[in-house]
Amino acid sequence: MAKKKDSIIDEAKKIKAELDELKNKKKSLDSTKKAEAKPAKKAAKKAEAKPAKKAEAKPVKVKKLTKKELEEAKRIEELTLEEELEEELSDSEIENFQIEKVDMERLTNKVCDILAERESDGMFQTELWKKLKLSGRDGSRLALKLERIGFITREKLLENNRWTYKLILKKTPISTQSIVNAPCLVCTVESKCSLDGEISPTTCQFIEDWVIAEMKKPAKSK
pLDDT at 125 over 80: yes
pLDDT for the residue 222: 44
Where, residue-wise, is CATH 1.10.10 in the chain? 68-169
pLDDT band at 181 (very low <50, low <70, confident <90, very high): confident
pLDDT band at 177 (very low <50, low <70, confident <90, very high): low
pLDDT at 167 over 90: yes
Using CA atoms, how far apart are residues 110 and 173, in angstroms rounded to an integer? 10
Task: Tell me the pLDDT tens digit for each residue of 31-77.
Answer: 766 666 566 556 556 656 555 555 566 776 667 767 776 666 665 66
Mean pLDDT, the chain, as a whole number?
A: 76
pLDDT band at 221 (very low <50, low <70, confident <90, very high): very low
Q: What is the DSSP letter of 179?
A: G
Higher pLDDT, 219 or 70: 70
Higher pLDDT, 112 or 46: 112
Q: What is the DSSP letter of 178?
A: G
- The answer, as to whether pTM is greater than 0.75, is no
Higher pLDDT, 27 or 148: 148
pLDDT at 174 over 60: no
pLDDT band at 165 (very low <50, low <70, confident <90, very high): confident
Q: Tell me how far CA of residue 86 lies from CA of 68, 95, 129, in angstroms.
A: 22, 11, 19
Among residues 170, 103, 171, the alpha carbon closest in space to that of 132 is found at 103
* 68-169 topology per CATH: Arc Repressor Mutant, subunit A (1.10.10)
pLDDT for the residue 72: 63
* Burial class of 99 by CB neighbour count within 10 A (0 to 12, 13 to 18, 19+): middle
